[in-house]
Amino acid sequence: MNKRRNLVALLFLTPNIFGFLLFTFLPVIAALALSTFRWDIFHPPRFVGLRNFTDILGWFRAEDGALRLNDPNFWKYLYNTLFLMMGIPIHMALSLFLAIVLNQKIRGRVFFRTIFFLPNICAGVGLLLLWTYLYDPDFGLINRVLAVIGVEGPRWLTNYHRAKPAIITMSLWTTMGGLGMIIYLAGLSGIPQELYEAAEIDGAGLWAQFRHVTWPMLAPTTFFIFVTSVIAGFQGGFDAAYVMTQGGPDGATTTVSYYIYNHAFQYFNMGKAAAIAVVLFIIVFGVTLMN
């Protein structure tokens, strides 16, 4: 009976296992192998060993005796990626706030849950084009509203120092009512109501109930959301850079994923693109283990 049950389970799992092997595992192995070659698509691959990795992570001594990075752009774009990830704690806090509010017995809460989740089921490119219009310095809605109150709006996406905060603000709007909110709602529904009743009997107010009941009980949920958000953060940023800024101004919004795309499909340097992807994989894997 157990063998039959296991066989049935395996049959249901087979499509997912096959998809994982075909679209995830094998491409990762292929990228790892390709990272040891120089290949521009038009000529046969040439084996170079670890040369691609030294071109990314290594350094050399210049004529003036100073040490210089072989690829300073990689470190710059890694910094951009980490900077954009500063929005993760904010979006988690907003998701938790929305989940707590929408977990209350209020009229129309299903409607409001749907409204807040709506940006996550809309076409990503469409939302990016919408925000590109909103950030337009001359015709955008944001600068027009600022003009009404007598404030001259900046050039959001073409200013080196404002482009990254603008991208973070947009990502907060699209993610605060997304999967994080849904997972927090699931976590809140799993907290026994008796704990709140006991806390209320002991005289605990709303803040004390949140601090001593809600937050500790949501610790595993928060940890899960944080880890998955960090992984997505390291891999993210491509869509916004490609559609809204093309990585500019002066590389201010270029992330590691967009850098991989440029090397692969703009410069046709497939070997180095694969090597950057492997380095990114190692970084994400290491951060996940530390978490």
Has residue 123 got a pLDDT over 90? Answer: no
Query: For strand 59-61 and strand 67-69, is the pairing parallel, antiparallel, or unpaired?
Result: antiparallel
pLDDT in tens, 217-232: 999 999 999 999 999 9
Beta-carbon contacts of residue 185 (< 8 Å; ≥ 6 apart): 99, 102, 103, 113
Beta-carbon contacts of residue 27 (< 8 Å; ≥ 6 apart): none
Q: Supply the pLDDT for residue 48.
A: 95
Residue 184 in contact with residue 225, Cβ under 8 Å? yes
> Angle at which helices 124-134 and 141-148 pack, to 10 degrees?
30
Q: Supply the pLDDT for residue 134.
A: 95
Alpha carbon separation from 30 to 34, 49, 280 (Å, rounded): 6, 15, 15
Q: Supply the pLDDT for residue 279.
A: 95
pLDDT in tens, 58-115: 998 888 888 899 999 999 999 999 999 999 999 999 999 999 999 988 888 888 888 8
pTM metric for this prediction? 0.89
Please give the mean pLDDT across all residues of the chain. 92
